[in-house]
Amino acid sequence: MIRSRTFAAAVAGLTALAGVVVAADSAEAQSRARHRSASVSGPYHSASRSADIHRSPGSASVSRSGSIDGHGWFSSRARATVDTGNGYATSSVRVGPAGNSQSRTASIAHDTDSYSRSAGIQTSNGYGYDRQVDAYRDESGVTVNRTATANNGAGRSSTVTYPY
């Protein structure tokens, strides 16, 4: 009887410990961060480089920096995605070594009789556009509306109905 209680207590302890280990593994799997760096130097030239990487559910970011013979540079990018319940929305930003940036947004939404998709891009030098696609179904068929608009004012749109 004492041995069976001791064995039961040991099994319970191991089970609890395994639960903690599993919880720690799943928490670690949810978010990860890494850092990398390297440098070289010689009699005439030197260079260094480093990167920081972070990932978690729905988002990721990377930033890189370095220098070559004393001239520094930096670049980064980040992305995030959110579940909206009937689709998702995502956004991302990039910054290049020259300082130019680019941001993107996109979303998708759908239900039983409709579907919507939008995307857009904007850059730090003024270029950009937005696109939208909407589709819905009714008793006469499927109608798809498409529109696109650029920052310079140009745009186009179309509507097509596909009968059953």
pLDDT digits (tens, 9 = 90+) for 71-114: 999 999 999 999 999 999 999 999 998 889 999 999 999 998 99
Residue 164 or 63, more confident: 63
How far apart CA 101 and CA 122 sit, in angstroms, is 8
- Number of folded domains in the chain? 1
pLDDT for the residue 13: 45
d(CA 115, CA 89): 14
Residue 16 lies in a domain: no
In a 3-state reduction of DSSP, which class is residue 10?
helix
Instruction: Report pLDDT for 131.
Output: 97
Residue 95: inside a domain, yes or no? yes
CA–CA dist 102, 122 (Å, integer): 6
86 domain-assigned: yes
On whether residue 149 sits in a domain, the answer given is: yes
Residue 37 pLDDT level (bands cut at 50, 70, 90): very high
Domain that residue 44 falls in: 32-163
pLDDT of residue 30: 77
Please report the pLDDT score of residue 29 as a whole number: 56
Residue 82 lies in a domain: yes
Q: Name the phi and psi angles at 145, rounded to 5.
A: -105, 130
- What's the chain's average pLDDT? 84
**Torsional sign, CA 41, 42, 47, 51:** negative
Does some domain include residue 89?
yes
* pLDDT value, residue 65: 94
Q: Is residue 122 assigned to a domain?
A: yes
Amino acid in the structure at residue 85: G
Q: pLDDT category, 152, cuts 50, 70, 90?
A: very high
Q: What number is the average pLDDT over the span 129-156?
A: 94
Residue 54 resides in a domain: yes
| Whether this model's pTM surpasses 0.85 | no
pLDDT tier at 140, thresholds 50, 70, 90: confident
